[in-house]
Structure 1
């Protein structure tokens, strides 16, 4: 059965319309989860909502424990993650208020734990196609029904932050062919892939970063105004996606997201660190032997 995990970004700290709503404090061996996870049913689908910055926006992008968040969602049985994130735009046509269904990432973060695996239990997953196209199809369908301005396809530049870009950086990223910029979708997307969870990002444009001659430097006051409008549309999108996923989620993802670890583990079983294997019980239990996980 499908379970939709929703990661709410800046401005999106709660979700309404949930039946059988309850708040769950999930403990993770990887660290502290951003906040309690709100579970319930929406459109006939089990849903788990987590505000990645915590309610009240307590956590900076570099202070989020992404491993704990993804592990906690996995422990709740989440099969699909819809990530909603505020972002800046590098393209004239991607104006504030536009939603972008990202399909590629460039990771420029440098101070974050980026993998569940490591010394003692090494694994390499493919990130060639980091977003689940099957889940993306449902997002496009839902956005069309709502009349939302959704652009499909685009490259998300993940920066470390918390400062916004310099103009030189902004122009550099534009020259690389990036479409939007944000601070939170990496290593989130990498960890979702390691956890074998289907993942899709909807980047909600709030500004033009600082490259645009007709727009000034990025300012929080301006962003917050757009954030509030985007948050309402983001909640509507989640409500529209839920029944579609409930009706169409196959037993196995034909994009292979839920079997990303099939050939990823490279450390020989006899050489694996038992402590690390135990921490991976939720993330990698499917491919570890019962006595390891």
Structure 2
């Protein structure tokens, strides 16, 4: 049975044990090797990848995003649910809220954002996060009774440091709602690889200058730990609802995609 669904676990999400009959798969790609856990959930084959490594040892700016996405493509994945912890710039998006982001602002500096190393592919990013998968997440959150926002703009920073209050003021004025360090280039590469991709972001804190306290990674991990049962329930509900065989415009580049196959 092919693997059509993948979960990319971010900070605090390292446990693939919502799945049964788990095996580890090593996939060699042109951009490096990856390891994923593959198991079953309600009759569906699902791949689980810990974005930062199982021991959270890989910083956001050092993640091999190209190997990760290319490897999932090689496994046959067509639907990715990615999780991420974020800080909020929007007073309506409170700690422990889920946001199913629909846009991003990219402030990364040194990350490869394409598989293509000869020639050019110009991607349409009008809808960077798959509307079909985002609707699945909204329906799942509604069913689970979880606080959620169906849209939001994710600001992706290079990291690994947190932002200054001045940066947060600027990002807020530009229309950012939440800030993190991992969605780009992951979402861009997924589109280039013709994979539907949606991100489940969970607010763990208000950003610098908004929060009354200094920021720490431990605070992020602690809030994720407190809410991880809700996140797990949301992911399980989404997997049960998604049509893994559905066709989608995300899976068809208007240009010749031969360079990434």
TM-score category, normalised to shorter length? over 0.9
Greater CA radius of gyration, 1 or 2? 1
| Contact 1:86–1:182, Cα closer than 8 Å, also in 2 | yes
Matches within 5 A, 1:213-252: 215-245=212-242, 248-252=243-247
C-alpha spacing 1:2/1:69, structure 2 compared with 1 (3 Å)? closer
Deviation at residue 63 of structure 1 after TM alignment: 0.7
Note the aligned Cα RMSD (angstroms): 1.6
**Once the 2 structures are TM-superposed, how far is the Cα of residue 126 of structure 1 from its aligned partner?**
0.7
Structure 2 SS opposite 1:26? strand
After TM superposition, list the pairs within 5 Å mapping 1:84-233 onto structure 2: 84-118=83-117, 120-212=118-210, 215-233=212-230
CA contact (8 A) 1:43 1:239 kept: no
Give CA-to-partner distance per residue, 1:105-161, whole Å, 9 cap, x none: 01100111111113x232111111101111111111111111111111000000000
Specify the alignment match of 2:13 in structure 1.
Answer: 12
Cα-to-partner distance string for 1:61-89 (whole Å, 9 max, x where unaligned):
01100000000101111010001001000
User: Matched residue of 1:25: which SS?
Assistant: strand
Matched, 1:259 2:260: no
Distance in 1, Cα, partners of 2:3 & 2:151: 25
> How many Å separate the matches in 2 of 1:117 and 1:100?
31
Matches of 1:96 and 1:58 in 2, distance apart?
Answer: 25
In structure 1, the residue matched to 2:40 is 41
The gaps in structure 2 that reach 5 residues or longer are none
Contact preservation (8 Å) 2:81, 2:198:
yes
Structure 1 residue 4 displacement after superposition: 1.0
Contact 2:26 / 2:33 at 8 angstroms: preserved in 1? Answer: no
Q: What runs of 5+ residues in structure 1 fail to find an aligned partner? A: 266-276, 286-293
- Normalised to the residue count of structure 1, the TM-score between the two structures is 0.85
Structure with the higher fraction of residues in strand conformation: 2
Provide closer, same or farther for how the CA distance between residues 188 and 115 of structure 1 changes in structure 2, counting only shifts above 3 A: same
CA distance in 1, matches of 2:111, 2:75: 24
> Does structure 2 retain, via aligned residues, the 8 Å contact 1:27–1:72?
yes
1:16 deviates by 1.6
Offset, 1:46: 1.3
Given that 1:209 and 1:217 are in contact with CA atoms closer than 8 Å, whether structure 2 keeps it comes out as no
Segments of 4+ moved more than 4 angstroms: none
Q: What secondary structure sits across from 2:28 in the alignment? A: coil
C-alpha separation in 2, matches of 1:140 and 1:13: 23
TM-score by structure 2 length? 0.95
Matched residues in 1 for 2:19 and 2:168: separation? 39
Asked if the contact 1:6/1:81 (under 8 Å) is kept, the reply is yes
